């Protein structure tokens, strides 16, 4: 199964510093999931601005892990939020959630190989 | 470099801070725009600020605007981090004061070279700031010297107007710069002979002022051997111990030889008035001739004199003699008055306007007249900052 991130690019980005990578992956697991929850809450309360803001922050966070799929998912939700129309937000959030969870799981497994 | 990072997303903030530290920078990381602003306004002299665009409370653009509005001695280079590629956003950031942009996620090499560019700007700006401070110091030293020199020069101007039962005088002197090429002299010798001169050295600034001061020294009235204005014994020129003006001009021309004054020369009107009988003797060394106002008319004076001083080594000067009438007013002036252009720089003030300015104030005291003429000139110029030094002397002969 292909990785959810570009391993070579990621390791270059962190200068092959596994400890630092493990620290940031843990932050992604905590903060990323918290942001996903925030996006869901904002979508449920029909608050497009909050959806856009949370998705924007999540997108920035994901961008550090060289994962085009998860990044594209966050960008899609951000754009929906900023459009002010949340009609199509549910499937986009689901796609984002799946890609982010997959990324976190894959990263966690990746760093654990060096633990 | 001291670098301040403003980034609300902690993984990006940590990654950025770690990378900058690896490159040897002294990094402070703020969790949002407000915290970054507090760090910046707290007095730490950050060289470079790297800020995210979208942050709660204080956005990146607002942070940039605040930084730019803060008066600082040294420049802060600002790089904005953005995932935005919209031209309007970049324009907004640049207008707010950002220097550069780096896209998120940042590429290490791109960030490194952009930081290098920022460092170059900061270092150049520091060097410029230092040079500016040195220039300001040097300029202030020069100005201070010029002010002191101006005080010396102005101390040589007439201390007060000369007023006797036979004569009244008034003068006005408006230098263009601290130091002037114009000079005025006004002396009463032997309690009878009024000596007045206006001289004007070509050019401006220190060289002109030095020559002007030197000429003033030569024209001091002390009856010493070096004096060219006085003789040790009475002459047969009806001027007591005062030399004839033409002889004074001749001697001045001998002292200030052509080619020895950095190419400068001077013009001079010098007159000696016997205040007892109104006999006026004068010479005009290349200088605008004086005006003689009689009532509301003006009287043509004899065209007597010679070349400007220090133009040629061998020069001859003539005296002209005029008999004044009671109430006559003689006006000596420099070309700074008649050559002053109007505010549109289309037309000069000219001799005729000076004549009108004087003759329409016939009933006024001489002191008021000189002030009024300079006021007229300022109105004409649309400013009290004239293009050339302005010198004006009015002598009123009251009769026997």
Q: What is the pLDDT of residues B195-249, one digit of tens each?
A: 999 999 998 888 889 999 999 989 988 866 667 888 766 666 667 888 899 999 9
Count: domains in chain A: 1
Interhelix angle for B87-96 vs B60-69, to 10°? 30
In a domain, A59, yes or no: yes
Q: Which of A23, A33, A63, A77 to mutate to test the interface with B (most CBs of B within 10 A)?
A: A63
Q: Which of A51, A53, A57 to mutate to test the interface with B (most CBs of B within 10 A)?
A: A57
What is the CA angle A99-A102-A105, rounded to 5? 150
In a domain, A26, yes or no: yes
| B256 three-class SS | coil
In a domain, A8, yes or no: no
Average pLDDT over residues A30-46: 96
Q: Is A104 on the interface with B (CB under 8 A)?
A: no
In a domain, A86, yes or no: yes
Please report, for the domain that includes residue A37, its CATH number. 1.20.120.160
Is pLDDT of B85 > 60?
A: no
C-alpha B190: how far from chain center:
39
Distance from CA of A64 to the nearest CA of B (A): 6
Task: Out of B14, B105, B108, name the one closest to residue A24 (CB).
Answer: B14
Share of chain A above pLDDT 70, in %: 99
Q: How confident is the model at residue B86 (pLDDT cuts 50, 70, 90)?
A: low
Q: How confident is the model at residue B398 (pLDDT cuts 50, 70, 90)?
A: very high
Task: Out of B8, B18, B104, name the one closest to residue A63 (CB).
Answer: B104
In a domain, A58, yes or no: yes
pLDDT at B223: 67
CB-based burial of residue B131 (10 Å sphere; 0-12 exposed, 13-18 middle, 19+ buried)?
Answer: exposed
Q: DSSP string covering B22-63, please?
A: HTT-EEEEESSHHHHHHHHHTT---SEEEEES--SSS-HHHH
In a domain, A101, yes or no: yes
pLDDT at B226: 66
Structural domain of residue A104, as residue ranges? 16-112
- Give the ipTM of the model, two decimals please: 0.89
Rg (CA), chain B: 34
Share of chain B above pLDDT 90, in %: 65
Q: Are A10 and A66 in contact (CB under 8 A)?
A: yes
Q: Which residues pair with B323 in a beta bridge?
A: B279
pLDDT at B344: 85
Considering only B28-32, B212-216, B278-282, B362-366, which range has the smallest mean pLDDT?
Answer: B362-366
Considering only B167-181, B215-229, B299-313, which range has the smallest mean pLDDT?
Answer: B215-229
Model confidence pLDDT, tens digit, residues A61-106 = 999 999 999 999 999 999 999 999 999 999 999 999 999 999 999 9
> Which among A25, A50, A29, A30 is positioned nearest to A40, based on CA atoms?
A50
Q: Is A20 within 8 Å of B18 when comparing Cβ atoms?
A: yes
Q: Tell me the CA distances in angstroms from A43 to A29, A76, A83, B65, B121, one per residue in order.
A: 21, 14, 13, 33, 46
In a domain, A5, yes or no: no
Share of chain A above pLDDT 90, in %: 88
In a domain, A94, yes or no: yes
- Looking at every residue in chain B, the average pLDDT score rounds to 90
């Amino acid at each position: 199964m292909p990785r959810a991130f570009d391993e070579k690019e990621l390791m270059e980005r962190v200068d092959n510093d596994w400890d630092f990578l493990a620290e940031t992956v843990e932050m992604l697991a905590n903060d990323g999931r918290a942001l996903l929850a925030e996006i869901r809450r904002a979508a449920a309360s029909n608050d497009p601005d909050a959806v856009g803001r949370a998705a924007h922050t999540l997108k920035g966070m994901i961008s550090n892990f060289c994962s085009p799929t998860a990044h594209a998912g966050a960008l899609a939700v951000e754009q929906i939020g900023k459009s002010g129309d949340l009609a199509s937000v549910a499937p986009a959030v689901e796609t984002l959630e799946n890609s982010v969870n997959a990324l976190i799981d894959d990263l966690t497994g990746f760093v654990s190989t060096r633990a | 470099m001291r670098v301040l990072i403003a980034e609300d997303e902690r993984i990006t903030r940590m990654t950025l801070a770690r990378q900058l530290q690896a490159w040897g920078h002294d990094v402070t990381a703020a969790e949002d725009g407000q915290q970054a602003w507090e760090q910046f306004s707290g007095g730490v002299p950050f060289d470079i600020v790297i800020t995210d665009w979208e942050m709660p409370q204080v956005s990146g653009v607002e942070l940039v605007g605040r930084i730019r509005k803060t008066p600082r001695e040294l420049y802060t280079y600002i790089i904005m981090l953005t995932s935005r590629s919209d031209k309007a956003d970049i324009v907004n950031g640049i207008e707010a004061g950002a220097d550069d942009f780096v896209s998120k996620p940042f590429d290490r090499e791109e960030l490194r070279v952009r930081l290098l560019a920022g460092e170059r700007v900061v270092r150049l700006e520091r060097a410029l700031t230092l040079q500016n401070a040195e220039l300001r110091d040097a300029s202030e030293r020069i100005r201070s010297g010029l002010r002191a020199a101006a005080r010396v020069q102005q101390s040589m101007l007439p201390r007060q107007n000369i007023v006797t039962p036979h004569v009244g005088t008034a003068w006005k002197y408006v230098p263009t710069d601290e130091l002037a090429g114009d000079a005025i002299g006004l002396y009463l010798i032997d309690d009878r002979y009024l000596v007045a001169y206006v001289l004007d050295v070509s050019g401006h600034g220190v060289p002109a002022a030095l020559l002007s001061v030197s000429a003033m020294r030569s024209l001091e009235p002390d009856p010493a051997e070096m004096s060219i204005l006085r003789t040790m014994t009475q002459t047969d020129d009806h001027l007591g111990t005062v030399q004839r003006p033409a002889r004074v001009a001749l001697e001045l021309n001998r002292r200030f030889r052509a080619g020895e004054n950095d190419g400068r020369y001077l013009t001079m009107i010098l007159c000696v008035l016997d205040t007892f009988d109104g006999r006026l003797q004068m010479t005009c060394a290349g200088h605008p001739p004086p005006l003689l106002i009689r009532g509301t008319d003006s009287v043509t004076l004899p065209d007597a004199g010679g070349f400007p001083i220090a133009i040629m080594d061998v020069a001859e000067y003539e005296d002209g003699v005029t008999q004044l009438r009671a109430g006559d007013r003689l006006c000596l002036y420099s070309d700074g008055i008649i050559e002053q252009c109007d505010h549109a720089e289309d037309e000069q003030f000219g001799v005729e306007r000076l004549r009108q300015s004087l003759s329409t104030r016939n009933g006024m005291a001489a002191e008021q007249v000189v002030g009024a003429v300079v006021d007229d000139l300022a109105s004409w110029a649309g400013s009290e900052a004239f293009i050339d030094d302005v010198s004006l002397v009015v002598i009123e002969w009251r009769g026997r």
